[in-house]
Chains A and B, each alone.
Chain A
Amino acid sequence: MSMFTYAGIILGVMVSIYIIAKIFKLSTELSMLAAAIAGGLAGGFRIPARHIAEGAMTYLDINLIFITATLFMNILKESGGVAFVVRRILKRFHRSRTLLFILLTLLLLIPGALTGAGSVTVLITGGMVAVVLNYMGISKVRTTAIVFIIAGLSAAAPPVSLWAMMTAAGVNMPYVGFFYPLLIPCVIAALLTIFILGWKGTGTDIEKAFEELPEPPEKMNWLRVILPFIIFLGLVFIGRQWPHSTPVIGLPLMFLCAAVTSFILSPVKVNFFKISGDTVEQLLPLIGTLTCAGILVQIMTLTGVRGLLAVSTVTLPVIVVYASLFFVLPVSEAVLMWGAAPVIGVPLVLLFNTIGLNPIVALAGMSVIWPLGDALPPTAIIGRLTVEIVGYKESYIRFLKACIIPAIIIMIIGTLMVIYSSELGFLTGL
């Protein structure tokens, strides 16, 4: 049997099992696991315990970043820090819609940019920003769309962009030089989104907004909010400034230090163990997806399915690849979530590299498009989460329609970044 037939059959088995699992309403994570195990069996590897475990290990460090960063954000929220910031911004800037939009965009971008997860943005600041947007006269459906789109962009934004990190790791490319190629499109697209979808609203009803926003504890102040961030950024700075006279700390421990600072400074009593438990529970779909995606990718690599997808992709006419990015990336994200990066991202970057494009800018362009898939079934995890947190109760399709204009803008920006990546190469050296 030729390798094409062999890998093709296994791919068919894996896809079939995934679809059957979804028909039986299994979660995406377990469907991926089922597909992986079926792939191993079909490939003649029986149940390869070593490979399942090795695949599950793939994103251990990223999971630790997730857990510690979200723990930090949750403690900040629990201590009233986030409500404090939102109220202060609203009070100070409610007269200027433009300024308010810019600051709200920033609030939405920061949690996801730091943690690499759009869901963290939705959970930490999404709900509160939605309240403010509502009282600025923006409809619920548009508010949901704004929060979802910017949450997705926040996940793609630097310093932590999982799609870029995972793809870069898959092609032995350093995750270096991505900061501006990711930051610039994310900020531009986020601002365009909020201004396009939000401009038509009425004036800000500050009284009503204040009534609905949670009241921060009396003793909460700027120092208590900012100090944990200073600790985090200080540790990043120290590591970069004096890398050879300080020990390696790593992102998880940096976030943990920030979390502990926030915990100590909290004006209200926070139950650390309970909040840790809640954090892990809240993150289970995400760390579960990463773990199962790791297993899936390992089995796909073991059986040659990854190679089949890779070789099929890289041998396509380039024009077809360009023209289908806007479709392929969100759909792969909808099916595999971050697993899309090593499965689809790796061969695409190899192709772009071979034909002389700038792989960093091209990958950054792809990373901006990927999160759009988070609103699409079968997973739609961030989309569903946003709808729930914002409290949008109407049809999901209407919400998707509200996302179309910013989504098209993001697709155009991302695709142009890929096509003109060589010309935009200077961004990597800024």
Chain B
Amino acid sequence: MADNNVYIRKIILSVLGFLLLIFSGISFYKHRHLEEHVVLGEGVTEVKKLSDYFDGVKGTINDCNIYILEGKEPGATLFVMGASHPEEPAGRLAPWIFVENGVMEKGRLIVVLSANRSGTTVTRLGGGYPPDYTIPTGWGEQKFRMGDRWANPLDQWPDPEVYIHYPSRQNLAYVDIRNLNRAWPGRPNGTLTEKTCYAFMELIRKEKVDIFIDLHEAELQYPVISTIVAHEKGHELAAVVSMVLTDMGEFNMGMEYSPKSLHGLSHREVGDFSDAISLLFEAPEPFLDATRGKTTREQLLTGKDEFIVKAGEHGLLFEKIDENGWPIDVRVGRHTSAVLMTMEIWTEEHPDMSLVCINVPGYAEVIENGIGYYLKDPFRANPERVIIE
């Protein structure tokens, strides 16, 4: 009898465990396989794959789309990269607006929306992240995958005891072997993340990229925020962009030098290992702060958080915050404006190598209309112009 009870208890507990496995498993599976539609704007002239530049990533989850916007007139080549850290949505939505709206009058624009595509399929352990977020549009809602700072362990496992960066041999945290922005310039026979970086370096070299911009967001407790981090080749350009943006009074944008001793980051290695000028833009994202309150989609998109305001009152933050938070429109607007301003300043200094982009909203317009205004309805678009990201 007693044995029977034990038997029944074991079955009941196992069923409960099984239900937990099923429900969570379905949620993880759906998140990893959520399809995001990109409607190619009239400016997109070609869509390539990353493996076109290095076949070592062919067939892997990181073989992402490469959107090319060839200008009507020749000029320089600008490469804008999103989702180097897929837990920073403004870094992904800003280039999305370029792909769906931008038209290059002069020069060429190359855009990536999911640099660490593997990282867009997983959320942070212990972070309580939502699996996705939706942006309201005029035609309904568009859903995006929320991601993590690191590639999914399902695509790269195990981690080493310590991560030794190639080629500098600098020691980094073991988990950062899956961090795309700690693996530059990559290597052809390395881990998936290193191979992905190597493939991007090949793209930069083969397409003769003149300027490379990596879009990020940062927690307010992190000192590198609301700024441009520039490789020495881009100091002058970044300084002028930051000065003009700040002087125009739209928003404050700082400028910092890429430290020579800090390895694996795009602003250092892309500049060192190619002819391109490398820049990294940081916008504020309160969602990433460890002092944040409830972890919700709303917090992710509005950036409103009482706890972080409280931390700010005690002088613990490197960027201001009030009850208005940091809405996603503001963060995306900062990025689109900063990219457009980079093109403008570059063109002033290099009239023979111009970069002129139209139809992309700047800071004020994105805030006024909302991001959704600039996202196209994939179900009403020409199916041939719709891509799965």
A175 near B: Cβ within 8 Å? yes
Residue numbers in B under 8 Å from A6 (CB-CB): 293-294
- With A50-B24, A176-B173 as given contacts, are A302 and B294 in contact (CB-CB < 8 Å)? yes
Provide the bound-state CA to CA distance between A254 and B123, in Å: 28
Main secondary structure of the interface of B (DSSP, over half): loop
With most chain B CB atoms within 10 A of its CB, the pick from A159, A306, A347 is A306
Chain B 89-127 against A: per-residue CB contact (8 Å), 1 yes, 0 no? 000000000000000000000000000000000010111
Q: Is the CB of B316 within 8 A of A176?
A: no
Q: Is the CB of B290 within 8 A of A347?
A: yes
Q: Is the CB of B128 within 8 A of A298?
A: yes
Residue numbers in B under 8 Å from A347 (CB-CB): 290-291
A96 near B: Cβ within 8 Å? no
Provide the bound-state CA to CA distance between A251 and B20, in Å: 29
Residue numbers in A under 8 Å from B21 (CB-CB): 53
Q: Is the CB of B290 within 8 A of A252?
A: no
A111 near B: Cβ within 8 Å? no
Chain B 284-326 against A: per-residue CB contact (8 Å), 1 yes, 0 no? 0000001111110000000001111011001010000000000
Q: Is the CB of B158 within 8 A of A249?
A: yes
B174 near A: Cβ within 8 Å? yes
Provide the bound-state CA to CA distance between A7 and B291, in Å: 12
Residue numbers in A under 8 Å from B306 (CB-CB): 2-4
Q: Is the CB of B293 within 8 A of A239?
A: no
Provide the bound-state CA to CA distance between A43 and B162, in Å: 38
Q: Is the CB of A3 within 8 A of B159?
A: no
A118 near B: Cβ within 8 Å? no
- Option from A3, A53, A159, A314 in Cβ contact (under 8 Å) with B293: A3
Whole-angstrom distance between the Cβ of B146 and the nearest chain A Cβ? 12
A63 near B: Cβ within 8 Å? no
Q: Is the CB of B125 within 8 A of A346?
A: no
Q: Is the CB of B24 within 8 A of A53?
A: yes
Residue numbers in A under 8 Å from B123 (CB-CB): 54
B374 near A: Cβ within 8 Å? no
* Closest residue on chain A to residue B306 by CB atoms: A3
- Option from A58, A174, A294, A346 in Cβ contact (under 8 Å) with B173: A174
Q: Is the CB of B294 within 8 A of A43?
A: yes
Whole-angstrom distance between the Cβ of A56 and the nearest chain B Cβ? 9
Residue numbers in B under 8 Å from A170 (CB-CB): 126, 290
Residue numbers in B under 8 Å from A236 (CB-CB): 161
B216 near A: Cβ within 8 Å? no
- With A2-B306, A50-B24 as given contacts, are A7 and B293 in contact (CB-CB < 8 Å)? yes
Q: Is the CB of B173 within 8 A of A298?
A: no
Q: Is the CB of A299 within 8 A of B128?
A: yes
Residue numbers in A under 8 Å from B167 (CB-CB): 244
Q: Is the CB of B161 within 8 A of A168?
A: no
A373 near B: Cβ within 8 Å? no
- Option from A2, A252, A354 in Cβ contact (under 8 Å) with B316: A354
A297 near B: Cβ within 8 Å? yes
A interface residues, tally (CB under 8 Å): 59
- Option from B28, B290, B305, B307 in Cβ contact (under 8 Å) with A346: B290
A243 near B: Cβ within 8 Å? yes
- Option from B160, B171, B177, B314 in Cβ contact (under 8 Å) with A249: B160
Q: Is the CB of A61 within 8 A of B159?
A: yes
* Closest residue on chain A to residue B299 by CB atoms: A304
B15 near A: Cβ within 8 Å? no
B172 near A: Cβ within 8 Å? yes
* Closest residue on chain A to residue B172 by CB atoms: A174
B142 near A: Cβ within 8 Å? no
* Closest residue on chain B to residue A57 by CB atoms: B125
- Option from A3, A61, A306 in Cβ contact (under 8 Å) with B305: A3
A320 near B: Cβ within 8 Å? no
Q: Is the CB of B307 within 8 A of A307?
A: yes
Provide the bound-state CA to CA distance between A354 and B311, in Å: 11
- Option from B126, B171, B191, B308 in Cβ contact (under 8 Å) with A297: B126
Residue numbers in A under 8 Å from B316 (CB-CB): 314-315, 350-351, 354
Q: Is the CB of A50 within 8 A of B290?
A: no
B70 near A: Cβ within 8 Å? no
Chain A 303-343 against B: per-residue CB contact (8 Å), 1 yes, 0 no? 11011101100110000000000000000000000000010
Residue numbers in B under 8 Å from A306 (CB-CB): 290
Question: Which residues of B202-229 have CB atoms within 8 Å of chain A's CB atoms?
Answer: 221
Chain A 226-264 against B: per-residue CB contact (8 Å), 1 yes, 0 no? 000000000010011001100011111110000000000
- Option from A173, A248, A251 in Cβ contact (under 8 Å) with B177: A248
B190 near A: Cβ within 8 Å? yes
B271 near A: Cβ within 8 Å? no
Q: Is the CB of A311 within 8 A of B158?
A: no
Chain A 179-215 against B: per-residue CB contact (8 Å), 1 yes, 0 no? 0000000000000000000000000000000000000
Q: Is the CB of A301 within 8 A of B159?
A: no
- With A53-B21, A54-B24 as given contacts, are A304 and B294 in contact (CB-CB < 8 Å)? yes
Whole-angstrom distance between the Cβ of B231 and the nearest chain A Cβ? 22
- Option from B20, B23, B290, B294 in Cβ contact (under 8 Å) with A303: B294
Chain B 126-143 against A: per-residue CB contact (8 Å), 1 yes, 0 no? 111001000000000000
Q: Is the CB of B125 within 8 A of A54?
A: yes
- Report, nearest first, the 7 A-B pairs whose CB atoms are least far apart: A250-B158, A53-B24, A302-B128, A174-B173, A49-B23, A304-B293, A304-B294
A-B contact pairs, 14 of them (CB 8 A): A49-B20, A52-B20, A55-B125, A58-B126, A159-B161, A173-B173, A244-B164, A248-B177, A294-B125, A297-B126, A301-B127, A301-B128, A303-B294, A310-B307
Given contacts A53-B21, A239-B161, A244-B187, 13 further A-B contacts (CB under 8 A): A3-B294, A53-B28, A58-B126, A175-B173, A176-B171, A239-B162, A240-B161, A244-B190, A248-B160, A254-B161, A294-B126, A298-B126, A303-B128
